[in-house]
Amino acid sequence: MPNLQGVRRRIKAVKNMRQITKSYKLVSASKLRRAQERVTASRPYARKMQEVLHNLAAATTDFTSPLMEERTGNRTLLVLMTADKGLCGAFNANLIRAVQQYLTDHPNERVELVVVGRKGRDFFRRRNIPIRREYVNVTAKTFGYEVAVEIAQDLLNIYEGAAAEEETVAVRPDRVCLVYAEFRSAISQIVRIEQLLPVGRQAGREAESSAMSAPPDYIYEQPPAEILGRLLPRFIETCIFQALLESVASEHGARMAAMDAASRNAGEVIANLTLAMNRIRQAAITNEIIEVVSGAAAL
């Protein structure tokens, strides 16, 4: 028969754990609201940036830029955006699994990583995959646009071959892809693998739909080629900033859902342990009554 004191200790431990998961859920719900507001506010700007870039690229067919030239090599740089903390369900595992699936589907490509987040960095550091850059504790706090500017500048330097001095061998990748979680709702996050560089003439999924209509007739103060040359780096920064916002909102949504499920599971465990404790107590009382009756009968 299980020990009554041991069951009581287990109930107390599970109750303490449920308090922790409930507090994590409340914190994540508060952070999710703010992160969702930032994502919702930034999406129209990102879509408009893609639309303007597509229209400019269509109007300047004679414009050439290293950021738009297709390369025929097999070197790929994946920018993986994971969380710095755990306790968010399958959020980090899904992103890491997407990178592993990409490696399986493209065995002939030489893949390197730029990791944003401690979980992705710690996982692939133990694997035989080169990590060109790592950014930790970026999404663990409220960040601004300057973070995206820093990451975008590093990616442009790597893509154009302007490597840092500490790199002994600076090899330019032929393409750069973003791997992040797109926020849909608190319980739905979609893993995306999207090409960032070179920038195509369609400039993203939203630009493909806008290409069906006639492009607007812009009035240019500067030549379109000059505007497009200045707009390309800003477009890279915007894509990275939007991916960071999507990833943070997805992380908080996944953590809130995971902590809610953990709290409900803890409640079920407490109910089962309480039922077991009551049965043990009832059995102990029954045994005591039997002993008393047996003693009285013996007298």
Paired strand residues for 102: none
Instruction: For residues 249 and 235, give the distance between their C-alpha atoms in angstroms, rounded to a whole number.
Output: 21
Which of the residues are catalytic?
Answer: 88
> Two tokens at 50?
């893609």
Contact 86, 243 (CB under 8 A): no
